[in-house]
């Protein structure tokens, strides 16, 4: 392993989950691009509990090219954990996380490497356009980056995914962060170092369907905000103060009107609305607090992030 660290320049880290149709096209385009750089490289595929023949395809690909290595996780842990596993096992001087669906073109890698050679330690790829995505997906993505940019105190570049180049110094820093709830876009920014970005055109998915539905995207947004900001808790405090003030003013209004015009039959609909509104605010705040308490609970258990069922190619010399 130490010998590999001395000779490998680029480690390409690719999480996969039920992506059998995308693996060979991705491999062919990536190998062609990396050949033009004339630098030694490895491609690390992380099989995140795939239920199709993804693992078999990866094993065949390793037999064809020993530069292809495979980490077979014990179950489906999710993309953030799979990406973490790939980074942990990488040995290159620079690490390049990328998706296998070819929405992020491998042909962009030389531009990332060029910026890296200029002295930047993290070079991220920002999507100038998002081809093959619906208007609703583009709208929700824009809203996500707008919200997280307002809530989080670190600079998370908008329209930027995991596709980037990370220098070994930054990778070693990233490997020290072992929190259970992992929002990798935030962690990439949080570690700091000298960072810059490039623009590119995001392509449509090559084959298959995305694993991200809108429910998962909403949960992902909540994960990102609560992992890097306590502003929601502060907003809940402000909301509670505003509701209390409104209740006080409403009570004062009824007190004055009772003195002036007497006490008419109370309005049960308005009373019901007020009770339901206050109850909803309380449940919202309790749920918000529960999100943070749940994270504290998970972190306190200090479980390992993942288990590896098998590794392919890590004892081989390319």
- CB neighbours (10 Å) of residue 276? 10
Asked if residue 115 has pLDDT above 80, the reply is: yes
How would you list the strands of the sheet with 308-312, edge to edge? 195-202, 122-130, 160-167, 94-97, 10-16, 41-47, 68-73, 308-312
pLDDT for 22 beyond 90: no
Regarding beta strands 10-16 and 94-97, do their DSSP bridges make them parallel or antiparallel, or are they unpaired? parallel
Q: How does residue 6 score in pLDDT terms, banded at 50, 70 and 90?
A: very low
Token representation of residue 158:
């908008």
Average pLDDT over residues 247-259: 69
Task: State the average pLDDT over residues 255-282.
Answer: 66
pLDDT band at 154 (very low <50, low <70, confident <90, very high): confident
Instruction: For residue 75, list its beta bridge partners.
Output: none
pTM recorded for the entire structure: 0.71
Task: Give the H/E segment covering residue 290.
Answer: helix 268-301
Rounded to the nearest 5 degrees, what angle is found at the Cα of 47, between the Cα atoms of 41 and 49?
170
pLDDT tens for 263-275 read 555 565 566 667 7
Of 147-161, 183-197, 216-230, highest mean pLDDT = 183-197
Write the DSSP string, 179-219: -SS--HHHHHHHT-SSEEEEEEEEPPPSSS--S--HHHHHH
pLDDT at 208 over 80: no
- Rounded to 5 degrees, φ, ψ at 295 are -70, -40
Count, residues in the chain: 318
pLDDT computed for residue 2 by the predictor: 40
Per-residue pLDDT at 4: 45
Chosen CATH of 2-226+303-312 out of 3.40.50.620, 3.90.550.10, 2.80.10.50, 1.25.40.340: 3.90.550.10
Q: What is the mean pLDDT of the chain?
A: 79
Least confident interval from 104-108, 215-219, 301-305: 215-219
Contact status, residue 309 vs residue 46, Cβ threshold 8 Å? no
> What letter would DSSP give residue 167?
E
Give mean pLDDT, residues 31-48.
90
Strand partners, 46: 15, 71
Structure confidence at residue 45 as a pLDDT band (50, 70, 90): very high
Q: What Rg do the C-alpha atoms of the chain give, in angstroms? A: 25
Mean local confidence (pLDDT), 292-300: 78
Residue 274 has which token pair? 């007020």
pLDDT for 8 equals 83
Per-residue pLDDT at 7: 79
Per-residue pLDDT band for 317 (boundaries 50, 70, 90) equals very low
Q: Which of 88, 42, 48, 93 is nearest to 69 (CA)?
A: 42
Helix pair angle (268-301, 231-261), 10° resolution: 160
Whole-number pLDDT of residue 239 = 74
Q: What share of the chain is helix, strand, coil (3-state, %, to 5)?
A: 55, 15, 30
pLDDT of residue 5: 44
- Decide if 181 contacts 115 (C-beta within 8 A): no
Question: Alpha carbon of 288 to those of 78, 118, 170, 242, 275: distances in Å?
Answer: 23, 44, 33, 17, 20
pLDDT value of position 255: 67
C-alpha distance from residue 184 to each of 127, 128, 174, 243 (Å)? 17, 21, 10, 36
Going 129 to 133 to 134 to 139, the CA torsion angle's sign is negative
């Amino acid at each position: 392993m130490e010998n590999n660290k001395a000779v490998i320049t680029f480690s390409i880290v690719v999480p996969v989950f039920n992506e059998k149709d995308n693996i060979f096209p991705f491999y062919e385009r990536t190998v062609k691009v990396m050949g033009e750089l004339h630098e030694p490289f490895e491609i690390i595929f992380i099989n995140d509990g795939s239920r199709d023949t993804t693992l078999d395809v990866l094993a065949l690909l390793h037999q064809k090219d020993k530069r292809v290595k495979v980490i077979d996780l014990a179950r489906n842990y999710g993309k953030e954990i799979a990406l973490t596993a790939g980074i942990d096992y990488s040995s290159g001087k620079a690490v390049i996380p990328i998706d296998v669906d070819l929405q992020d073109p491998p042909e962009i890698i030389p531009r990332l490497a060029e910026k890296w050679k200029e002295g930047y330690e993290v070079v991220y790829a920002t999507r100038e356009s998002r081809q093959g995505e619906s208007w609703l997906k583009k709208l929700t993505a824009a809203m996500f980056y707008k919200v997280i940019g307002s809530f989080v105190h670190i600079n998370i570049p908008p329209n930027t995914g995991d596709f980037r180049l990370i220098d070994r110094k930054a990778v070693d820093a990233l490997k020290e962060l072992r929190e259970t709830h992992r929002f990798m876009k935030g962690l990439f920014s949080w570690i700091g170092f000298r960072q810059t970005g490039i623009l590119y055109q995001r392509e449509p998915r090559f084959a298959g369907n995305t694993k991200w539905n809108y429910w998962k995207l909403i949960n992902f947004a909540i994960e990102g905000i609560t992992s890097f900001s306590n502003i929601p808790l502060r907003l809940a405090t402000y909301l509670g103060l505003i509701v209390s003030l409104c209740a006080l003013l409403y009570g004062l209004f009824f007190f004055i009107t009772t003195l002036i015009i007497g006490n008419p039959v109370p309005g049960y609909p308005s009373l019901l609305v007020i009770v339901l509104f206050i109850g909803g605010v309380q449940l919202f705040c309790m749920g918000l607090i529960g999100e943070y308490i749940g994270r504290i609970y998970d972190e306190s258990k200090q479980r390992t992030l993942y288990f590896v069922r098998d590794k392919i190619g890590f004892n081989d010399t390319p």
